[in-house]
Chain A
Amino acid sequence: MGNRPLKFRILEIYLDEKEHWNYEIVSKIQEEYDMKGDYHRDSINFDIIELASGGMLKDIEQKVDEEGIYKKGFLLHKYVITDFGKVRGSDACLRYV
């Protein structure tokens, strides 16, 4: 089970510098931290939104969730880490990797 703060872990995942969809990250975190249910799903997604608004992730692509893989009829977002995110992320995470 995950033992680091959620945003540390999210940044850590994005530090691979690849693009990830929010639903991939949310379900990965839900599994790692054993956080089931819609409430935790939305709460983890809000963490991603906060990281993006703090300039650490960048929202690069959106698509409509037609099949309901995350939330049917809502937008899905794809993010990539920014330079600032890399700095903050490696301050916080890299010592442990």
Chain B
Amino acid sequence: MDLKALKKQESKRKISKGYMWALFCAVFWGIWYLPGTVVWVLNPFDEMYGAVAETNGDAVSLVVTAVLITAFNALTVMLALMVWNGVLQKFGELGRTLKEFHPCSKWFFLASIFGGPVAILGSFMAMGFIGGAFAAVAALLYPVVGSVLAYYWYGEKITKRAAIGIVVIIIGGITIFGGGLITELGAGEVPWIGYLGGLMAAAGWGIEGAIAGKGLDISEPDVGLTLRFLGENIIWWIIIVPILAIVGFPMYSFAIQAFEPLTLLVLIFAGITFGFCYVSWYKSFPLIGVGRGQGIGNLYGLCAIIFIFLFFGDVPQWTILLGGALCVAGSFIMFTEEAGELETLRGE
């Protein structure tokens, strides 16, 4: 075969692999909202919610229960990623990267602060108080946060096309949040904490992405993501859960009760889907570009709505459907600007 034909074949192979990884990401990410929603009605978490609510009220109880759920989510993601790194024989690289704290791994630990206690906790709060479809679609606002941050932080330009995308996403966001709010204001009861959770998910993931990128571009993503979850586990299990226990919440007594088959199964399911959605997301970037990878990855919002409909039979409010569609469309507008330029995504 001649050079030209081989080049074409190679780029075709790269692109189809990249789209495959990005789609995997969307599917896994979307599925994650199933165990994430189900876990709330399983023991020990529903008992915990009831017990804490009696003494401290619904709002505090929701956040404290969400902390324990998020901590378990981090633990099972870590387990899934350790298996993944074992299969790929990357433990050596994991150790080498961990040691490079200053140039590299500190970014993962910093990113985990925004990813864990902000984004994932917020997602669980939104799932618990409003629902999986809302939680999924609200987080679609994260590219807006990410690109605004990159603008102020790295001085990255926001092109006209990206600006249009951002506006479309924001209109989508207003539809999602506003639609629900209007209905609930009419009914007289607004689950503010759920909405706060939705905003936390979007802001947290936007910030996480901007920070983690600093370490990920000079490390292997499989390894970098594992370190990011190592950071999150440290935050939950060594800092926040013990603090809440000291303050008087029954963290450990309920944590131990999580080790029953059904709850564990759901948590492991959450860990596997979440761990692999992150991994496959980053695998797609070098093959089709960060833009297209994120654009297709954002189809997770659609996947989540479909899976929630299939498994729970829930049809979300029309405002969530419309807002979600706008957000997905906006992210495609934003991210597909580098069409034709597949080899190099930055600089030059």
Contacts and interface: CB of A to CB of B under 8 A. Distances in A.
Interface of A: 2-8, 11, 33, 39-40, 43, 46-47, 49-56, 58-59, 62-64, 73-75, 82-84, 88, 91-92
Given A64-B2, A73-B1, A92-B218, A52 B343 contact: yes
A62 B1 CA distance: 14
Interface residues of B, number: 31
B179 interface: no
Interface string B220-239: 11010000000000000000
Contacts of A8: 100, 103-104, 218
Contacts of A53: 285-287, 289, 343-345
6 contacts: A5-B100, A7-B218, A39-B89, A54-B217, A55-B346, A73-B6
A88 B214 CA distance: 9
Contact of A7 (B89, B220, B343): B220
A6 B270 CA distance: 31
Contacts, number: 89
A63 B7 CA distance: 9
B344 A64 contact: no
A5 B343 contact: no
A15 B10 CA distance: 27
A4 B100 contact: yes
Contact of A74 (B6, B104, B345): B6
B6 A82 contact: no
B96 A3 contact: yes
B219 interface: yes
Interface string B80-109: 000000001100110011001001100000
